[in-house]
Amino acid sequence: MAETTTPTLKAAAYTAGGTERDRLDLPVDLFDGTINMPVMHQAVKAFLGNQRLGLAYTKTRGLVTGGNQKPWKQKGTGRARQGSRRAPHFVGGGTVFGPTGRKYNQTVPRQIRQLARKSAFNARAREDALIVIDNFNYDAPNTKQMVSLLAALGVTDKKVLILTDGMKPNVFLSARNLQRTHVMPYSDVSTYHILWSDVVLVESNALGYELAAVDEKPRAARPKAETKSRGAEKAERKTAKAAAKSSNTHKAARKAAKAAGKSAKPKAAAKSAKKTSARKSAGKKKGK
């Protein structure tokens, strides 16, 4: 079930600013091309099982409140004999063979965990989905810098796992608000996290490399159409909505004016008819 390949695996290398470097040969002791599917399945299954809490719980007849005496006497009622209201066939009684909490923990031997982790790294390396970053030197949390790095690598729309050399809070805080990005130390990574990600970014020091510094290449400026801020887009939307509302109000006002004019005409005709009829009646009275 295990697949092995002897050629040395290589990975793309970049700086923390997104400048491309020469491809690197991955360490042979870890990246030997071994992919063991059953072992990876066992490790992921144990990891997910250890996350479960198993809190489902029901009360048996010994835990239900009430029922300390017989509901009715043993003989003479014509009914079946009963000893307690807490019996399962009574409403509000205890549950029979219900869940009472359990653990889903699974223990996996250390060597199997190491083999599964190694297989997951080899799988990502063979897919060319493993990228080496020279060094994450963040003086302060900077999400904008992290987003620009992911954009330079072309992995913005993918699930990215960033493995640092030890604990680096600034790197973690820089990617904490990114939904598809997860940062953790290289020593704490598990098989599940590697297989969860589409692309793995590994710091060079974690793999035992010390890469020389490289000058960052200037990034090409994005066109103005793409550099609109969210505030500008919101303002444009608001103005468009206001214009639409004003046009709608003008249309409604015109319709109302037309309707008022139409309704006013019959009223005027009725008034004139009343006046003429009143004049005629007055003339008749005078003739009398």
Whether 149 has a pLDDT exceeding 70, the answer reads yes
From residue 282, how far is each of 121, 184, 273, 278, 287 by CA, in Å? 110, 103, 14, 6, 9
pLDDT band with cut points at 50, 70 and 90 for residue 261: low
Q: What pLDDT score was predicted for residue 255?
A: 76
Please tell me the distance from the alpha carbon of residue 200 to that of residue 195, in angstroms, as a whole number.
10
Lowest mean pLDDT among 97-106, 154-163, 234-243: 234-243
Q: Where is pLDDT greater, at 227 or 10?
A: 10
Whether 284 has a pLDDT exceeding 60, the answer reads no
pLDDT in tens, 21-60: 889 889 988 898 889 999 999 999 999 999 999 999 999 9
Please tell me the distance from the alpha carbon of residue 20 to that of residue 258, in angstroms, as a whole number.
70
Identify the helix (H) or strand (E) that includes residue 187. Answer: none
pLDDT band with cut points at 50, 70 and 90 for residue 277: low
What b/e string do you get for 172-181 counting C-beta neighbours within 10 Å, with b at 16 or more?
bbbbeebebb
Closest CA to 36 of 195, 163, 193: 195
For 128-134, what is the mean pLDDT?
A: 93
Q: What pLDDT score was predicted for residue 211?
A: 79
Token readout for 183 is: 């940062």
Is the CB of residue 195 less than 8 Å from the CB of residue 121? Answer: no
Whether 11 has a pLDDT exceeding 60, the answer reads yes
Q: Compute how many other C-beta atoms are within 10 angstroms of the C-beta atom of residue 19.
A: 16
Give 201's strand partners. Answer: 131, 162
Torsion angle defined by CA atoms of residues 60, 64, 69 and 74, in that order, rounded to the nearest 10 degrees: -40
Token readout for 15 is: 């700086």
Whether 214 has a pLDDT exceeding 80, the answer reads no
Q: What pLDDT score was predicted for residue 288?
A: 46
Placement of tokens 């008819």 in the chain? 273
Which segments within the chain are labelled E, that is strand? 2-3, 10-14, 24-25, 35-36, 130-133, 160-164, 181-185, 199-203
Percent of the chain with pLDDT over 70: 83
Whether 64 has a pLDDT exceeding 60, the answer reads yes
Please tell me the distance from the alpha carbon of residue 89 to that of residue 190, in angstroms, as a whole number.
49
Give CA angle at 279 (278, 281), nearest 5°.
Answer: 65
DSSP 223-255: PGGG---HHHHHHHHHHHHHHHHHHHHHHHHHH
Query: Which distant-in-sequence residues (6+ apart) come within 8 Å of 41 by Cβ?
Result: none
**pLDDT averaged over the chain?**
85
Identify the helix (H) or strand (E) that includes residue 207. Answer: none
Integer-rounded Cα Rg, in Å, for the chain is: 39
Token readout for 280 is: 């005629």
Q: Which amino acid is at 151?
A: A
Rounded to 5 degrees, φ, ψ at 8 are: -75, 130
Whether 257 has a pLDDT exceeding 50, the answer reads yes
Q: What pLDDT score was predicted for residue 242?
A: 81
Whether 267 has a pLDDT exceeding 80, the answer reads no
For 60-70, what is the mean pLDDT?
A: 90
Rounded to 5 degrees, φ, ψ at 115 are: -65, -40
